[in-house]
Structure 1
Amino acid sequence: MYTKPTLFFSLAFVGISLLEMIGDTFSISWLHYGCKPLIMGLLLGYAWHHYRTTGFPPISRWLMVGMVFALLGDVFLMIREVDLFALGLGAFLVMQLCYSKAFWLSIRRNGQNLTLPSIWKRALPFVLYLVIFLAVLRPAFVHNPALQLLWWPVVVYALCLNTMGLLAVLREGASAYGGVVAGALLFILSDSLIAIDKFLTPVPGATWLVMSTYAAAQYLIIVGMIQWVSMPENQPTSVESVRS
Structure 2
Amino acid sequence: MNQPGVTIKNGWQIGYLTLLGIHLLAIFFNWDTLRFVTKPLLMVWLLVYFISITVPGAPFRKLVIAALFFSWLGDVFLMQPASSFFMAGLASFLLAQLLYTWIFLNARKRCNTTGRWNPVMLISILVYIILLYAWLFRTLPNELRLPVLLYAIAIGSMLASAFHVYAKPFENPALLLICGAALFVLSDSLLAINQFIQPFPLAGVGIMLTYGLAQLFIVKSISRIS
Tell me the TM-score normalised to structure 1 length.
0.83
* Closer, same or farther: CA 126–3 of 1 in aligned 2, 3 Å: farther
For 1:22-50, what per-residue CA distance to the aligned partner results, in whole angstroms no more than 9, with x for missing partners? 32343433211211112111110012233
Tell me which moved more, 104-113 or 207-216. 104-113
Amino acid at match of 2:33: W
- Kindly provide the amino acid, as one letter, of the partner of residue 219 in structure 2: I
Q: Identify the residue that residue 72 of structure 2 maps to in structure 1.
A: 71
Structure with higher Rg: it is 1
Structure 1: state its 5+ residue gaps: 142-146, 235-244
Give the direction of change, closer, same or farther, for the CA distance of 1:204–1:29 in structure 2 (3 Å limit): closer
2:127 is the alignment partner of 1:133: no
Q: Is 1:226 aligned to 2:188, yes or no?
A: no
2:60 alignment partner, SS class: helix
Determine whether 1:19 maps to 2:22. yes
Partner SS, residue 203 of structure 1: coil
Q: Percent identity?
A: 27
Give the match's secondary structure for 2:15.
Answer: helix
Indicate the residue corresponding to 2:150 in structure 1. Answer: 156
Residue type at the aligned position of 2:124: P
Q: Deviations over 1:133-160 (max 9, x none)?
A: 111111213xxxxx11100100000110
Q: Which residue matches 1:144? A: none
Q: Please provide the CA RMSD for this pair.
A: 2.1
Distance 1:173 1:111 in 2: 5
* Alignment TM-score, normalising by the size of structure 2: 0.89
1: CA distance, partners of 2:195 / 2:59: 36
Q: Select between 208-217 and 28-37 the one with higher mean Cα deviation.
A: 28-37
Deviation at 1:7, TM superposition (A): 4.2
Measured at CA, do residues 134 and 4 of structure 1 come closer, stay the same or move farther in structure 2, by a change above 3 Å?
Answer: farther
In 2, Cα distance between equivalents of 1:14 and 1:55 = 25
Provide the rounded CA distance (Å) in 2 between the counterparts of 1:49 and 1:198.
Answer: 36
Residues 103 and 212 (structure 1), Cα distance of their counterparts in 2 relative to 1, 3 Å cut: same
Question: Given the alignment of the two structures, is residue 197 of structure 1 paired with residue 194 of structure 2, yes or no?
Answer: yes
* Structure 2 contact 98–154 (Cα < 8 Å) conserved: yes
Residue 119 of structure 1, CA deviation: 4.0
1:12 positional shift? 1.7
2:139 match: secondary structure:
helix
